[in-house]
């Protein structure tokens, strides 16, 4: 069974988790908590976590996830620059996606899935190309929206998280699996926190 989990080995696998995975998880948790609070420091924390996770994903043959993390790295640098340069970009304000931005988001998700699926099936030994490509392409869309501080980023990221959880368990990346569950839960709260900011303009989230 593709997503079966041997619970009897779970404790042993956690004990055997590498230091690199612990570091990746720690910075991943820090990143999402800062994102929920609309704090620009999410980006440097995220960059460290991305670099650590990338090495783990290559080893697990999750190549689309690896490309996703490369994209995360680029978008983290882009988002960090946008959030710091608020007066020029308008990035300091949370907002909803426009029709044009929604079209771009869907193009990123669908185009990204087609591209990644083609690459995985033709140039790698991936054993889960459809799911791996889906997880990565929806996360690509969510990260683009996050860099622009669009409310809908949480929805796209959680679609990715929901599918990624069983995939990561299947690949025996236990800590990262639990991190993704944590991200899924926090993203729900993040969505409602940002929505409250939009619905109640006077209830400001702290932002650096």
Q: How much is the pLDDT for 182?
A: 86
95 SS3 class: strand
Q: What is the pLDDT of residues 75-94, one digit of tens each?
A: 888 888 877 776 454 545 78
194 SS3 class: helix
| DSSP at 150 | B
Residue (of 22, 1, 2) closest to 173 by Cα position: 22
Residue 129 CA to residue 143 CA, distance in Å, equals 21
Total length of the chain: 208
Higher pLDDT, 16 or 154: 154
The reported pTM is 0.74
Give 4-11 contacts, CB < 8 A, sequence gap 24+: 4/170, 5/169, 10/174
Listed in sequence order, the residues at least 6 apart from 187 whose beta carbon sits closer than 8 Å to its beta carbon are 32, 154, 157, 158, 161
Q: What is the pLDDT of residues 98-142, one digit of tens each?
A: 999 999 999 999 999 999 899 889 988 888 899 989 998 999 899
Q: What is the pLDDT of residues 168-185, one digit of tens each?
A: 888 777 777 887 898 899
Other beta carbons within 10 Å of 106: 12
Element (H, E) at 151: none
């Amino acid at each position: 069974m593709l997503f079966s989990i041997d619970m009897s080995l779970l404790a042993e696998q956690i004990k055997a988790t590498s230091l690199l995975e612990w570091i990746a998880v720690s910075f991943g948790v820090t990143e999402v908590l800062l994102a929920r609070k609309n704090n620009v420091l999410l980006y440097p924390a995220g960059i460290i976590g991305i670099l650590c996770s990338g090495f783990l994903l290559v080893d697990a043959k999750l190549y689309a996830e690896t490309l996703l993390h490369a994209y995360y790295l680029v978008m983290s640098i882009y988002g960090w620059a946008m959030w710091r340069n608020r007066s020029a970009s308008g990035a300091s304000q949370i907002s909803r996606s426009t029709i044009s931005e929604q079209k771009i988001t869907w193009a990123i998700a669908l185009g990204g899935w087609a591209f990644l699926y083609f690459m995985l099936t033709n140039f790698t030994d991936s054993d889960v190309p459809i799911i791996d490509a889906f997880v990565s392409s929806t996360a690509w869309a969510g990260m683009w929206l996050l860099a622009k501080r669009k409310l809908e980023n949480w929805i796209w990221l959680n679609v990715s998280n929901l599918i990624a959880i069983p995939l990561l368990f299947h690949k025996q990346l236990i800590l990262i699996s639990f991190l993704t569950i944590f991200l899924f839960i926090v993203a729900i709260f993040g969505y409602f926190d940002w929505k409250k900011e939009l619905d109640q303009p006077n209830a400001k989230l702290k932002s650096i």
